[in-house]
Amino acid sequence: MNSALIFIFLTIVLALFLGIRARRGKDMSLEQWAVGGRGFGAAIVFLLMAGEIYTTFVFLGGSGYAYGHGAGAYYLLGYGSLPFILSYFLLPPIWRYAKERNLISQPDFFASKYNSPVLGVLVAIVGFAALVPYLVLQLKGLGIIVSVSSYSALSSNQGVLIGAVVVAVYVALSGVHGSAWTSVVKDALVMFVAVFLGLYLPYHYYGGVGDMFAAIEKAKPGFLALKNVGESPVWMVSTVILSTLGFYMWPHMFMATYTAKREEVLRRNAFVLPIYQLMLLFILFVGFSAVLAVPGLTGGDIDLALFKVSLATFDPWFVGVIGAAGILTALVPGSMILMTSATLLANNVYRPLRPQSSDAHVARVAKWLAPAVMALAVLFTLGGGQTIVALLLMAYALVTQLFPVLLASLIGKNLVTRPAAFASIIVGEATVAWVSLTKKSVAALFPFLPDALKDLNVGIVALAFNVATLVVVTLLTRRTAAAAQLSADAS
Amino acid sequence: MRSIHLLALLPVLAVLVGPFFVNRVTPYVLGMPFLLAWLAGALVLTSIVMAIIYYADRARFEAADRGQEGV
């Protein structure tokens, strides 16, 4: 057994131990399991929300994107700041409404606001459809990390299986309490690894961060600024907008909001989290340091940039530490996603189908569904699938389509009618599915657009259709709805 | 919406409008390409602006929060 493998195993054991220990002294009702009994303080809510940013997608994908695409990766910094401005205004009213009504999940919120359990089922299905590919992505990243950082002592598939079992066990037992405790270890370790690598690697290979960028600019002119076509400023800005609107539309992020003890916790996070995102800068430095140090990775292999450059630089034991950090970036978000998926299915699909079920029964169903969902994700992961990144982008676009209907429900007296809410979500999702499956770009869809707009993220098009539907159907149905209300009031 | 909330527009404009004007590598700032430094600066600006808004709002919300803790 090599020394890297020892660190990896210790991490996995520690994650399992913390996850299971977290349930001590709690009776695991659905409210405790899914939203921690709404008792989490600032630090824990902070870590649960930061956990969304530091997933394997950033650890591997962020550094890999900088390595392969250069300036295109800067968009991560925009993504690291704007969602939190939105959160300051958006989350407190969501939290307050959910607390008053003891809501557990995101579909509960839509169902309650629009007084329609069926809308809740629709939102639950959308959420589930977006979460499964996201879970698959975490598992796939986990497999890569375990196999590379163990110097191939473990295969990628073995890594996936071990990780899946660990997450499924502690999610079923401890729910969000487990995720919270593992988050603490994860963020400390990831912070250390990211900052250390981001400063050490540029220094080691180039003599410093400034010298590194100067060397890259010399070797690959234009790599460090956005292009005029493709990954242009239009592309970057539209992608940041989409990511910002989608950030809190993820069902697990929505539920993380519910865990807060007081709404002040959410407000304070709006100014603490952005500064925390500066860690992304160091992740980008790692990717850039690999550009000239380990050249030649192309295609999907760019995701290996961080580990390739680490393998070339450090002793095995330290590669093990990096691997341990990487594993935690998969386990923590993976557990949040898994718990949320199980809650959506049990609370918002199963319960409406069997309305006579007791709360305790629904809680048991959720806990049994967690391993089942994990098994499904493992099947998808092992079944291959080169299109994971395409799936993730589709998943992001899917959840973003919930934003207009949510926003309308928060503004004063909601003018949007129930049919309009259904129609807008369905039109938005259908557009995303169609565009993703046919892999059309905006340029292909609308050849008559001025060149400057052809790099728009396609999710924006779906969002535009979505909002247009919302407005038109609301105008068409409002009179009928008002008349129905009048006659109901009269009788 | 209070007028202090309008401050939040600053980082939004920096991230969504800025890239069209500052998409360049030079001059390097703290060793970073200009656009990267600009966006990192926007991140810091976001924190500062939101902290100002938070503390301006806080007095207003404190009474309400005290009420909730009793529940």
pLDDT tens column, A440-486? 667 777 777 777 677 787 788 889 999 999 999 988 887 776 666 66
When pLDDT is averaged across residues A328-338 and rounded to a whole number, the result is 86
Which residue of A82, A210, A233 is in closest CB contact with B23? Answer: A233
Question: Domain of A40?
Answer: 3-397
Query: Is A71 near chain B, with CB under 8 Å?
Result: yes
pLDDT, tens digit, 9 for 90 and up, residues A125-151: 999 988 988 888 888 888 888 888 888
Average pLDDT, chain B: 82
Cα–Cα distance for residue pair A192/A198, rounded to 1 Å: 10
- Contacts of residue A272 in chain B, CB cutoff 8 Å? 47
- Contacts of residue A287 in chain B, CB cutoff 8 Å? none
Which residues lie below 8 Å from residue A279, measured CB to CB, with a gap of 6+?
A: A54, A190, A191, A194, A195
The reply to whether residue A213 touches residue B68, judged by beta carbons under 8 angstroms, is no
Amino acid at A213: F
A residues 243..272 contacting B (CB < 8 A): 262-264, 267-268, 270-272
Task: Classify residue A133 by burial, with Cβ atoms within 10 Å: 0-12, 13-18, 19+.
Answer: buried
- Between A442 and A242, the more confident residue is A242
pLDDT grade for A253, boundaries at 50, 70 and 90: confident
Say if residues B25 and A273 touch (Cβ distance below 8 Å): no
User: Of A345, A376, A397, which residue sits at a domain end?
Assistant: A397
When pLDDT is averaged across residues A392-417 and rounded to a whole number, the result is 85
pLDDT at A255: 83
pLDDT grade for A406, boundaries at 50, 70 and 90: very high
Query: Is A215 near chain B, with CB under 8 Å?
Result: no
Which residue of A82, A217, A263 is in closest CB contact with B25? Answer: A217
pLDDT at A386: 47
The two three-digit tokens of residue A20, written as one number = 């299971």
- Contacts of residue B48 in chain A, CB cutoff 8 Å? 271
Nearest residue of A to residue B61, measured between CA atoms: A264
- Contacts of residue A277 in chain B, CB cutoff 8 Å? 43
Cα–Cα distance for residue pair A317/A329, rounded to 1 Å: 19
Regarding whether A97 and A28 lie in a shared domain, the answer is yes
User: Of A344, A365, A397, which residue sits at a domain end?
Assistant: A397
pLDDT, tens digit, 9 for 90 and up, residues A334-391: 888 888 898 889 888 988 888 888 888 888 888 888 889 999 889 888 876 544 556 6
The reply to whether residue A281 touches residue B40, judged by beta carbons under 8 angstroms, is yes
Regarding whether A442 and A332 lie in a shared domain, the answer is no
Which residues lie below 8 Å from residue A163, measured CB to CB, with a gap of 6+?
A: A12, A139, A142, A143, A146, A327, A330, A331, A334
Number of domains present in the structure of chain A: 2
User: Of A376, A397, A418, which residue sits at a domain end?
Assistant: A397
When pLDDT is averaged across residues A211-225 and rounded to a whole number, the result is 88
Average pLDDT, chain A: 84
Regarding whether A315 and A202 lie in a shared domain, the answer is yes
> Which H or E run includes A9?
helix A3-21
> Could you report how far apart the first and last alpha carbons of chain A are, in Å?
78
Task: Classify residue B30 by burial, with Cβ atoms within 10 Å: 0-12, 13-18, 19+.
Answer: exposed
A383: CATH:
1.20.1730.10
Regarding whether A387 and A406 lie in a shared domain, the answer is no
pLDDT at A123: 93
The reply to whether residue A240 touches residue B35, judged by beta carbons under 8 angstroms, is no
Which of A167-176, A209-218, B41-50 is the least confident region?
A: A167-176
Query: Is A241 near chain B, with CB under 8 Å?
Result: yes
Cα–Cα distance for residue pair A382/A160, rounded to 1 Å: 8
Say if residues A357 and A351 touch (Cβ distance below 8 Å): yes
Nearest residue of A to residue B59, measured between CA atoms: A264
pLDDT at A55: 78
Which of A26-40, A56-70, A198-212, A467-481 is the least confident region?
A: A26-40
- Using a CB cutoff of 8 Å and minimum separation of 24, what contacts does A403-411 make? A403/A245, A403/A246, A403/A249, A403/A463, A404/A428, A404/A463, A404/A466, A404/A467, A404/A470, A405/A110, A405/A114, A405/A470, A406/A109, A406/A110, A406/A249, A407/A90, A408/A470, A409/A110, A409/A113, A409/A114, A410/A90, A410/A93, A410/A94
Query: Does position A229 have pLDDT exceeding 70, yes or no?
Result: yes
- ipTM attached to this prediction: 0.85
Residue B6 C-alpha, separation from nearest chain A C-alpha, in angstroms: 11
| Domain ranges for chain B | 3-65
Regarding whether A429 and A281 lie in a shared domain, the answer is no
Regarding whether A414 and A380 lie in a shared domain, the answer is no
Percentage of chain A with pLDDT > 90? 16
Query: Does position A408 have pLDDT exceeding 80, yes or no?
Result: yes
Query: Does position B71 have pLDDT exceeding 50, yes or no?
Result: no
Query: Is A219 near chain B, with CB under 8 Å?
Result: no
- Contacts of residue A198 in chain B, CB cutoff 8 Å? none
pLDDT at A285: 94
pLDDT, tens digit, 9 for 90 and up, residues A47-87: 777 766 677 777 888 888 889 888 888 888 888 889 999 99
Query: Is A85 near chain B, with CB under 8 Å?
Result: yes
pTM score above 0.80: yes
> Which H or E run includes A60?
none
- Contacts of residue B8 in chain A, CB cutoff 8 Å? 85, 88
Regarding whether A431 and A392 lie in a shared domain, the answer is no
- Contacts of residue B5 in chain A, CB cutoff 8 Å? 89
Which of A186-195, A222-231, B4-13, B60-69 is the least confident region?
A: B60-69
When pLDDT is averaged across residues A274-302 and rounded to a whole number, the result is 87
Which residue of B19, B25, B31 is in closest CB contact with A210? Answer: B31
SS3 A24: coil
The reply to whether residue B16 touches residue A284, judged by beta carbons under 8 angstroms, is no
Cα–Cα distance for residue pair B57/A264, rounded to 1 Å: 10
pLDDT at A79: 82
Percentage of chain A with pLDDT > 70? 92
Regarding whether A357 and A428 lie in a shared domain, the answer is no
Amino acid at A228: N
- Contacts of residue B54 in chain A, CB cutoff 8 Å? 88, 267-268, 270-271
The two three-digit tokens of residue A99, written as one number = 């607390």
For chain B, the 3-state helix, strand and coil shares in percent, each to the nearest 5, are 75, 5, 20
